[in-house]
Amino acid sequence: MQSLKLIAPHLFFFACLFYVFDPTESQNIIYSYCDTGNNYTSGSVFEQNLNLTLTSLASNASLTGFSTTAIGQNPNTVYGLVLCRGDVSQQDCQACASTASIEIIKQCSNNNKEAAISYDNCLLRYSDRRFFSTVDSSPKLMLYNVNNVTEPVVFNRQLGNLLRNLSSNAASSTSKFSAGQTNFLDFQYINAMVQCTRDLAGNNCSNCLQDIIRYIPQCCNGKEGGQVLSLSCNLRFEIYSFFLLSSPPPPSLVQPNSTSQDEKKSTSKVIVFVAIPLAATMVVALIVCCCFFWRNGKKKRVDTDPDQEGSMATLDQWNSYGAIGSSAAG
Ligand X SMILES: *[C@@H]1O[C@H](CO)[C@@H](O)[C@H](O)[C@H]1NC(C)=O
Query: What residues line the site for ligand X (CB under 6 A)?
Result: 36-39, 43, 47-48, 51, 55-56, 59-60, 110, 134-135, 146-148, 158, 161-162, 165, 182, 201, 203-204, 207, 250, 252, 257
Q: Which residue lies nearer to ligand X by CB, 74 or 257?
A: 257
CB 54 within 8 A of CB 327: no
CB-side exposure of 259: number of CA atoms within 13 Å? 6
Closest distance to ligand X from the beta carbon of 33 (Å): 14
Closest distance to ligand X from the beta carbon of 128 (Å): 12
Q: Which residue lies nearer to ligand X by CB, 28 or 49?
A: 49
Closest distance to ligand X from the beta carbon of 64 (Å): 9
- What are the C-alpha distances in Å from 122 to residues 18, 87, 151, 190, 315? 22, 11, 33, 23, 16
Closest distance to ligand X from the beta carbon of 59 (Å): 4
Q: Which residue lies nearer to ligand X by CB, 48 or 296?
A: 48
Of all residues in the shown chain, the one whose CB is closest to ligand X is 161
Instruction: State the Cα–Cα distance between residues 101 and 105, nearest whole angstrom.
Output: 7
Q: Which residue lies nearer to ligand X by CB, 12 or 256?
A: 256
Instruction: State the Cα–Cα distance between residues 233 and 279, nearest whole angstrom.
Output: 18
- The DSSP secondary structure of 48-101, one letter per residue, reads HHHHHHHHHHHHHHHHHSEEEEEES-TTS-EEEEEEE-TT--HHHHHHHHHHHH
Q: Which residue lies nearer to ligand X by CB, 146 or 287?
A: 146
CB 224 within 8 A of CB 148: yes
CB 176 within 8 A of CB 170: yes
Closest distance to ligand X from the beta carbon of 157 (Å): 9
